[in-house]
Amino acid sequence: MTPANDFLRVSKRIEQFRDEMVDLQVRLCALPAVAPSSGGEGEARKAEFLRSFLEDNGFEGPTLVKAPDMDAPAGYRPNLLAVYKGRSSARTVWVMTHLDVVPPGELAVWRGDPFKAWVEKGRVYGRGAEDNQQDMVASLFALKAFRAEGLKPAFDVGIALVADEETGSRKGIQYVLEHDNPFRKQDLIIVPDAGNEKGTLIEVAEKSLLWLKIRTLGRQTHGANPEKGVNAFKAASFLVADLETLYRRFPAKDRLFDPPLSTFEPTKKEANVPNINTIPGEDVFYMDSRILPAYPVEAVEKKIRALADRIEARFGVRVEIEVKQKAPAAPPTSVRAPVVQALKRAVKAVYRKEARAAGIGGGTVAALFRHSGFAAACWSKIEDTAHQPNEYCVIDNMVGDAKVYAHIFLQE
């Protein structure tokens, strides 16, 4: 369906842009867009720079959606929306990437300055190089190639460069969806903020997340006279064993996910008494549950409370359950959605691989689209160096992903 000759021309042109793409990466790394809540200045300077890039390269707009933020020196967090006109405006193919980056962390473990990107063995190193500049640059240069070749995409292409992805998106895509929503139900929405090394993972669904702090209160006493106290650690241990039954009580399997089932795992454990001969009066442990969208999170919470009630009655303890984080899964994007099919065709054409729609255990920003009723898919070919020291982008992936976008933009 993609005119083969046009695709060849655009692909060649993208390859010629290789050095310019690396150059843009280096420039973007030099504009550290760390969120104010992580000790940075926000994304305003990076957005200004990209706004001129968009203006210079034939984009309509761009519109700047400012989410007020008094903690940012600019007073706002920038969200840039720009459209590159296609032959038809019946729908828009969106690529959304985020402007913000996480702080570099321990500088001593970096082999260079995280904000002075360097090139080594076909990779660009620097904070933000992979997350999320790799595919930001890829999507921009895909369109630059169309312009250079005098070609038009089949449909309008939308570029969304958003703020605040790393700290919750409330001043990023969430704000755009609530205040200045340009998206339509028929649009294709690609979010290149998840993927795998082969470029074969199209993320369409995620599990609900539930993090609990479970505090068991008994009565401290001497180790020689347990009958005079109530052993909180022992009671909590029986509770941990009982929580294993959640796997039986919520047994659904969904092969979209790996692993294909809901998981309920005790994780962090706080220290109790420092000496061996004291019966602890307090016990604290945490639990990380990843729940298939088939089950309401509340049903799991209710069951956990019921198990805790039984432990209270049996041991004479009090069990306090505190929700540390709760993120109910968004309705999944259908594996048959046009955006998934378009990605599959393009991955096949560029990387000669069959991509597969799948669910993941953690949250991505695409969930915000899905909660608002839009079919969004996460995809990119990445090494997963995001948030790590010496984060890098493989230049071949950046160039290859640009071709994937170009292919999709040509699809009728």
Q: Which helix (H) or strand (E) holds 158?
A: strand 155-162
Q: Which helix (H) or strand (E) holds 95?
A: strand 88-98
CB of 171 to Zn ion, least distance (A): 15
Say which of 6, 100, 206, 401 is annotated catalytic.
Answer: 100
> Which region among 151-159, 189-197, 240-248, 319-327 touches Zn ion (by CB under 5 A)?
189-197
> Which region among 41-49, 89-97, 190-198, 227-235 touches Zn ion (by CB under 5 A)?
190-198
Q: Say how far apart CA 171 and CA 178 lie, in whole Å.
A: 10
Could you list the beta-strand ranges (E) of 235-381: 263-269, 278-279, 282-291, 318-327, 356-360, 376-378
Q: How many CB atoms lie within 10 A of CB 327?
A: 15
Helix (H, G, I), strand (E, B) or coil at 241: helix
CB of 354 to Zn ion, least distance (A): 25
Cα distance from N-terminal residue to C-terminal residue, the chain: 6
Q: Which is nearer to Zn ion, 6 or 135 (CB)?
A: 135
CB of 233 to Zn ion, least distance (A): 40
Q: Which is nearer to Zn ion, 132 or 139 (CB)?
A: 132
Say which of 165, 166, 203, 401 is annotated catalytic.
Answer: 165
Q: Say how far apart CA 324 and CA 213 lie, in whole Å.
A: 6
Q: Which is nearer to Zn ion, 86 or 199 (CB)?
A: 199
Q: Which is nearer to Zn ion, 11 or 380 (CB)?
A: 380
Interface mask (CB under 5 A) for Zn ion, residues 267-306, using x and -?
----------------------------------------
Q: Which is nearer to Zn ion, 69 or 131 (CB)?
A: 131
CB of 128 to Zn ion, least distance (A): 9
CB of 102 to Zn ion, least distance (A): 8
Instruction: Using DSSP bridges, classify how beta strands 221-222 and 278-279 pair: parallel, antiparallel or unpaired.
Output: antiparallel
CB of 193 to Zn ion, least distance (A): 4
Among 141, 146, 22, 47, which Cα is nearest to 98's? 47
Whether 95 contacts 160, CB under 8 Å: yes
Handedness of CA 50, 102, 189, 2 (dihedral sign): positive
Q: Say how far apart CA 401 and CA 290 lie, in whole Å.
A: 30
Q: Say how far apart CA 209 and CA 328 lie, in whole Å.
A: 6
100 is catalytic: yes
Q: Say how far apart CA 22 and CA 108 lie, in whole Å.
A: 25
Write the CB contacts of 241 (distance below 8 Å, at least 6 apart in sequence): none
Q: How many CB atoms lie within 10 A of CB 161?
A: 28
By CB under 5 A, the residues from 110 to 139 that bind Zn ion are 131-132
Strand partners, 84: 157
Helix (H, G, I), strand (E, B) or coil at 400: helix
Q: Which is nearer to Zn ion, 36 or 281 (CB)?
A: 36
| Count of residues interacting with Zn ion (CB under 5 A) | 3
Decide if residue 193 touches Zn ion (CB under 5 A).
yes
Q: Which is nearer to Zn ion, 132 or 208 (CB)?
A: 132
Q: Which is nearer to Zn ion, 131 or 206 (CB)?
A: 131
CB of 99 to Zn ion, least distance (A): 10
Instruction: Using DSSP bridges, classify how beta strands 282-291 and 118-120 pair: parallel, antiparallel or unpaired.
Output: unpaired
Helices (H), 93-231: 133-149, 173-179
| Cα dist from 274 to 139, 235, 270, whole Å | 56, 19, 12
CB of 388 to Zn ion, least distance (A): 12
15 is catalytic: no
Catalytic residues: 100, 165
Contact residues for Zn ion, defined by CB under 5 A: 131-132, 193
